[in-house]
Amino acid sequence: MLLHTIFLIAIAAEAMTAALAAGRRKMDWFGVCMLACVTALGGGTMRDILLGHYPLSWVADPNLLLICCGAALATIAGARFMHKLKWPFLLLDAIGLVVFSIIGCNVALEMGQPFVVVIVSGMITGIVGGILRDVLCNDVPLVFSSELYATVAIVAGLLYTGGLALGLPRELVIVVTLALGFAFRVAAIVFKWEMPKFVYDKELR
Amino acid sequence: MLLHTIFLIAIAAEAMTAALAAGRRKMDWFGVCMLACVTALGGGTMRDILLGHYPLSWVADPNLLLICCGAALATIAGARFMHKLKWPFLLLDAIGLVVFSIIGCNVALEMGQPFVVVIVSGMITGIVGGILRDVLCNDVPLVFSSELYATVAIVAGLLYTGGLALGLPRELVIVVTLALGFAFRVAAIVFKWEMPKFVYDKELR
Amino acid sequence: MLLHTIFLIAIAAEAMTAALAAGRRKMDWFGVCMLACVTALGGGTMRDILLGHYPLSWVADPNLLLICCGAALATIAGARFMHKLKWPFLLLDAIGLVVFSIIGCNVALEMGQPFVVVIVSGMITGIVGGILRDVLCNDVPLVFSSELYATVAIVAGLLYTGGLALGLPRELVIVVTLALGFAFRVAAIVFKWEMPKFVYDKELR
């Protein structure tokens, strides 16, 4: 219940940041809505396609599409105030990343998938929306080179599945995962924690 | 029957415009055929994957692949005449957009999907092929910023499902949807009807 | 058995070349692993999604993900030696292309797909991983314009299915396909065999 509420808020927040990205590319209102839907729902969609888990969440509940479009249009309407909202967006995105990861793990767990697939399922749910957004905006995906993001999704997945495996009550595991995952992501932003980069500029010969 | 004939013509037309896009990127003959197939069949393929509607149309009827490759190779052979065919292509693309939208709505209706999903299914069928073409050509998808296109697909879907819901004969609904959708798209091109753009260039802070 | 061994080696080789591509984009270690997985496993994943062939290979056997990540991290560790390995990589990639194609044909054959779909299934398995790599690196896919590559996958598929259709023993057909496909690809690199390019720079009007 709590999870689903945060999920909806996170969807709206992802849609709003996607709308701003669309605005930087001077997309029209339709493009803004489309990019918002792809970004907010793309991770779960990719997970479900890869796992063969039908129907997709937004097919079963098309209100998710309306939430994304509503959030996108609200972003256009309130564009002049958005530049002050960097931190609210970052915080909502951080909590959204953890919620997406938990939900992704859950889907794979319920399908009886092996451990590695469960963690990957959580990670895909958390990060693929942003990757699709960047591909459609013609950028190299940010998640491949910026502050810890996918790592947060993986750690959240490990905390969640680990807690469940220990037999702890599900509600407790969710709250702890949310708190620690959120703190981890915020710390990564504040302290600019990054994965080491792999820089390779030689030609093979 | 009429629908299927127009569908095949539209597939060929989409494949030909994709072949020209491939030629602008100096692709080889294989790349031209591949881009033609992805563009002409990508919308229906994406729809079927998202809805879990198997087998895909070109798997059930591989002749569709041959039509696309044939149209692409014909485009190469007749390249010197193509620059005079802007309007035939635009008109065929317009009718194709409406046909794709009707077919996409049909697939979702037959699966018993809710109303919003039916309209989205029509829209995806109409526009995703072009999006994939633009991503593979390393462009920001045109459909996010040019004359009304996705809107035409949505309006066509609304006309079609609305007509069916009113209990009108299916053939009549199809013909009316084709006529009005086509006229709408052509008017959008002629009068340069565009969605308002969302232009956002501030950094968040 | 032989096929599976070569398959695993080919997966690792694809992952390593993808890791080098990631290094050219200065991705972090996570991005390197991710790009390695997408490149090495993306072709088979796309094939399975298009054919509705579940579970995906890496969901059924998550060790494939670990092999890709291991190969990617080994590439980072041994980056200073990689520039001398152009030919080993090209040769492994050539054998991998043929193996992927054979495996892709097999999957479609076992599903009872029609002939064209079998060949396309082999080709997709061989080339889509590289296409996804190029899209994520924000390049126009190399396979659309460089030395014969998809053609090799198609020819290998034709040899393999042709041999089976003639009733020849499966092991023999595999070995002959591997040998001829490999030779064809290597010859294409050495002699710079390319498909004719389609160059089109006129505007439609």
Q: C51 to chain A: nearest residue by CA?
A: A52
* pLDDT value of residue B139: 85
Residue found under tokens 């947060």? A152
User: Do A9 and A180 meet the contact criterion of CB atoms below 8 Å apart?
Assistant: no
Q: What is the mean pLDDT of chain B?
A: 93
pLDDT digits (tens, 9 = 90+) for A16-36: 999 999 999 999 999 999 999
Q: What is the mean pLDDT of chain A?
A: 93
Q: A144 to chain C: nearest residue by CA?
A: C31
- B123-148: average pLDDT: 90
| Residues of A at the C interface, defined by Cβ within 8 angstroms | 49-52, 113-117, 120, 131, 135, 138-141, 143-145, 150-151, 194-205
Mind telling me how many Å the CA of C58 is from chain A's nearest CA? 8
Q: How far is CA B43 from CA A73, A180, B12, B96, in A?
A: 25, 41, 14, 12
pLDDT for C39 beyond 70: yes
- B9-27: average pLDDT: 92
Q: How many residue pairs from chains A and C have C-beta atoms closer than 8 A?
A: 93
Q: Which of C27, C65, C89 sits opposite A120 (nearest CB)?
A: C65
- Put simply, the answer to whether A198 touches C82 (Cβ < 8 Å) is no
- B52-59: average pLDDT: 96
SS3 C197: strand
Q: Subunits touching B (CB < 8 Å, at least 3 pairs)?
A: A, C
pLDDT for A178 beyond 90: yes
Domain boundaries, chain B: 2-190
- Put simply, the answer to whether A196 touches C19 (Cβ < 8 Å) is no
User: Which residues of chain B neighbour A54 with C-beta distances below 8 Å?
Assistant: 52
Classify the phi-psi angles of C138: left when phi > 0, otherwise alpha if psi is within -120 to 50, otherwise beta: left
Mind telling me how many Å the CA of B205 is from chain A's nearest CA? 5
| Distance, CA of A187 to CA of B60 (rounded, Å) | 52
- A106-128: average pLDDT: 96
Mind telling me how many Å the CA of C31 is from chain B's nearest CA? 20
User: Do C43 and C93 meet the contact criterion of CB atoms below 8 Å apart?
Assistant: no
Residue found under tokens 């299916």? B170
| Distance, CA of C76 to CA of C39 (rounded, Å) | 16
DSSP tag of A200: -
- B38-64: average pLDDT: 97
| Beta partners for residue B28, in sequence order | C197
pLDDT for A85 beyond 90: no
Q: Which of B28, B59, B138 sits opposite C145 (nearest CB)?
A: B28
Q: Which of B51, B131, B197 sits opposite A59 (nearest CB)?
A: B51
Give Cα B183 distance to the centre of its chain.
16
- Put simply, the answer to whether B23 touches C198 (Cβ < 8 Å) is yes
| Distance, CA of A141 to CA of A135 (rounded, Å) | 7
pLDDT digits (tens, 9 = 90+) for C62-101: 999 999 999 999 999 998 888 888 888 889 889 999 999 9
pLDDT for B16 beyond 70: yes
User: Do C111 and C53 meet the contact criterion of CB atoms below 8 Å apart?
Assistant: yes
CB count within 10 Å of CB A145 equals 18
Mind telling me how many Å the CA of C62 is from chain B's nearest CA? 23
| Distance, CA of C60 to CA of C107 (rounded, Å) | 15
| Beta partners for residue A197, in sequence order | C28
pLDDT digits (tens, 9 = 90+) for C44-60: 999 999 999 999 999 99
Q: A153 to chain C: nearest residue by CA?
A: C30
Q: Which of A117, A144, A204 sits opposite C28 (nearest CB)?
A: A144
- Put simply, the answer to whether C150 touches B30 (Cβ < 8 Å) is yes
Tell me which residue of B105, B137, B126, B138 sits closest to B42, measured CA to CA: B126
Q: Which of A113, A135, A198 sits opposite C28 (nearest CB)?
A: A198
Q: A65 to chain B: nearest residue by CA?
A: B116
| Distance, CA of A105 to CA of A111 (rounded, Å) | 10
| Distance, CA of A185 to CA of A190 (rounded, Å) | 9
Q: C195 to chain B: nearest residue by CA?
A: B28
At CA C80, angle to CA C79 and CA C82, rounded to 5? 65
User: Which residues of chain B neighbour C196 with C-beta distances below 8 Å?
Assistant: 28-29
- C132-138: average pLDDT: 91
pLDDT for C202 beyond 90: no
Q: What is the mean pLDDT of chain C?
A: 93
| Residues of B at the A interface, defined by Cβ within 8 angstroms | 49-52, 113-117, 120, 131, 135, 138-141, 143-145, 150-151, 194-205
pLDDT for A2 beyond 70: yes
Q: A34 to chain B: nearest residue by CA?
A: B144
pLDDT digits (tens, 9 = 90+) for A148-158: 899 999 999 99
Extended strands (E) in C125-201: none
User: Do B121 and B108 meet the contact criterion of CB atoms below 8 Å apart?
Assistant: yes
| Residues of B at the C interface, defined by Cβ within 8 angstroms | 19-20, 22-32, 34-35, 45, 49, 54-56, 59, 62, 65-66, 76, 79, 82-86, 89, 135-138
- Put simply, the answer to whether C195 touches B28 (Cβ < 8 Å) is yes
The identity of residue B120, as a single letter, is V
| Distance, CA of C201 to CA of A174 (rounded, Å) | 57
| Distance, CA of B159 to CA of B180 (rounded, Å) | 9
What DSSP string runs through A155-190? HHHHHHHHHHHTT--HHHHHHHHHHHHHHHHHHHHH
| Distance, CA of A43 to CA of A40 (rounded, Å) | 7
Percent of chain A exceeding pLDDT 90 equals: 78
Q: A41 to chain B: nearest residue by CA?
A: B50
Mind telling me how many Å the CA of B198 is from chain C's nearest CA? 24
Mind telling me how many Å the CA of A136 is from chain C's nearest CA? 10
pLDDT for A90 beyond 70: yes
| Distance, CA of B174 to CA of C183 (rounded, Å) | 54
pLDDT for B1 beyond 80: no
Q: B134 to chain C: nearest residue by CA?
A: C140
User: Do C29 and C105 meet the contact criterion of CB atoms below 8 Å apart?
Assistant: no
pLDDT digits (tens, 9 = 90+) for C140-183: 888 887 778 999 999 999 999 999 999 999 999 999 999 999 99
User: Which residues of chain A neighbour C30 with C-beta distances below 8 Å?
Assistant: 143-144, 150-151, 195
> Is the preceding peptide bond at C55 cis, omega within 30 degrees of 0?
yes
| Distance, CA of A69 to CA of A37 (rounded, Å) | 7
Q: How far is CA C182 from CA A44, B154, C61, C120, C147, in A?
A: 39, 49, 27, 19, 14
Residue scoring higher pLDDT (B160 or C203): B160
Q: B139 to chain A: nearest residue by CA?
A: A138
- Put simply, the answer to whether A136 touches B143 (Cβ < 8 Å) is no
pLDDT for A202 beyond 90: no
